[in-house]
Structures are given as structure tokens and as C-alpha cells.
Structure 1
Amino acid sequence: MNATHIDERARETEIEAIEQVIATLEHAQQHELPGEFVGLFRSDAIWTTGHGRRLTGRDEISAFTHRVLPGAMRDSTSDYEVVHVLFIRPDVAAVKVRQRAVTLDGHPIEGQNEGSPLYVMAKEDGRWLLVACQNTEVLDG
């Protein structure tokens, strides 16, 4: 089945499931839950952090996340909004996200650059997983 042949109801259902993964990612980041965060990745995933560090495989992603996430949200956090989903195939999607720095009570922080992550996700055994991820900071200008 070609991605252009996904019926509208099925497409909306899949987008809702993808949005739930991004909401779980947001929750894990905001509450500094590395186990919950790492559980969103396929075992062979690749992730490039916002500072350009390439991490390959869930074990490497886990080690990095367990080292940097605890304590990272003591002053501020981020919120995530899915802004575009491109189905490459019915079980593979490129997901563009808007990431904004917010205070701990959820108010936007002025003067902070936004992030523009791209997450390639695959649906396996009925579950959407992060497979290839690139976090990118949006610079003014």
C-alpha cells in the first residue's frame, strides 16, 4: 500500500498515535524520566542531539540520557508540538516538531531559540517508535 492511499480516518488515527508518542517524549523530558524517554526509541535508533552529538542504538541513547536528563529541567523545560507529519509509507513517518523553551509552569521564555526536531518514526507491532532523530536549534535571522 502506497502512503498516498491511506484513507483519511486511518491517517488521522495514526497521527493521533504519533502525537501521543511526542506527548510522552515531552512528559519524559519535563519530568526527567530517562527510562520513559529511552523506551520511545527502537533498539537500533540513531539520534543527533541539539548540539550535534550522534548517538547510535538504544544503549548509547540510554547512557547519554541517564547522564544528562536528571537535573536538566531544574530552571526551565520545553514543550513539543507536532507541526507536520509526512507518511513515507503507512508504517513510516517523518514528523516535524516545534520545541519551545518554557518555564516550569509552562509559560514561553522570551529570547530563547526554538528547536525544530525531525523524527523519523516506524510503526512496529502496533506501536510507533523513534528511529532516526535530529534535533536542530532555530537561529534568529
Structure 2
Amino acid sequence: MNNADRELIATAAIHTLVAEAVKFQNDPEQFVPLHTASVNIVNFGGRRVSGIGALSKAMQAALASPLADVLTEIEIDDIHFVRDDVAIVACVKHVFDGREDARGNLPASSGRLTYVVVEKDGRWLIESAQTTPILSS
């Protein structure tokens, strides 16, 4: 298989990974395994979570709170392959705050999301995620 074919297959797998992250955003049993054991995430509010155990705990806490009513959609803008098994995925995250009293609780309604994804044992996983709010002018 040539490099262009590998990249096409990897690009499709990364699109599937991101779609699953959106689909399972309120299902820790499905969402957490989409990440590496050493995952490092900085969320929309600037909170850093390091490691898959911490991610699982943070998700459980968020879903037991009004944050369960904050949903997101993600659009992929670009995928840049650093190596055959590592890619940087530039996205826009759209945030929908369905909490009853949501006025002013989020810094913005959209953000720039950057994933670092890695292929391990033929499967693409999220190694890092960083979201920066897009402030309206």
C-alpha cells in the first residue's frame, strides 16, 4: 500500500474517531476508551485532566452535575500527519448549553479544538485535546 492510500485510510479512521467522541460524549464507557492511557486534556474552561483514570472520574463528576446538559458538535478543519501514526487534528467545537440557568456560564459558544491522535495496534486514539474558546468581538 502506498503512502497516499495509507493517509486516506487513516483520515477516514480519524474522522470516525472524532464522530465517536461526539456521539459518546455522555457515555463514559464508550468515550473513555477512545483515548490513550496517558491522555492529556485541557477543556473549554481551562481545566487540565491527565491520564485515563482522571478522565473517567472527571466525566463521571460532570455527568452527575448540570454539565450533563452541555453538549458539543465538532467540525474537522484539517488533519496534518506528523508521522504515519501521529496526526494533529484542527477542529471547531460548537457548544450548546442546555442548562436551565446557563447565562454567562461559558466563555463562548464555540472554540478551537486541537487533537493529537495516535495509531496504536491499528486503532486511532486521542492522546491530547486542547480547546480554546473563540471570543466574539
In which range does the TM-score fall when normalised by the shorter chain?
0.7 to 0.9
Question: Equivalents in 2 of 1:65, 1:103: separation in Å?
Answer: 17
The alpha carbon displacement at 1:66 in A equals: 1.0
Q: State the Cα RMSD in Å.
A: 1.9
Residues paired across the two proteins, number: 126
List runs of 5+ in structure 2 lacking aligned partners.
Answer: 99-107
Question: Equivalents in 1 of 2:63, 2:24: separation in Å?
Answer: 9
Question: Equivalents in 1 of 2:9, 2:76: separation in Å?
Answer: 14
What amino acid is aligned across from residue 71 of structure 2 in structure 1?
A: T
Question: Equivalents in 1 of 2:17, 2:8: separation in Å?
Answer: 14
Structure 2 match to 1:77: 71
The alpha carbon displacement at 1:25 in A equals: 0.4
More strand by share: 2
The alpha carbon displacement at 1:103 in A equals: 8.3
List runs of 5+ in structure 1 lacking aligned partners.
Answer: 1-5, 105-111
* Percent identity (aligned): 25
1:125 pairs, out of 103, 106, 121, with 121
What amino acid is aligned across from residue 135 of structure 2 in structure 1?
A: L
Question: Equivalents in 2 of 1:45, 1:101: separation in Å?
Answer: 22
Structure 1 match to 2:18: 22
Structure 1 match to 2:103: none
The alpha carbon displacement at 1:7 in A equals: 2.5
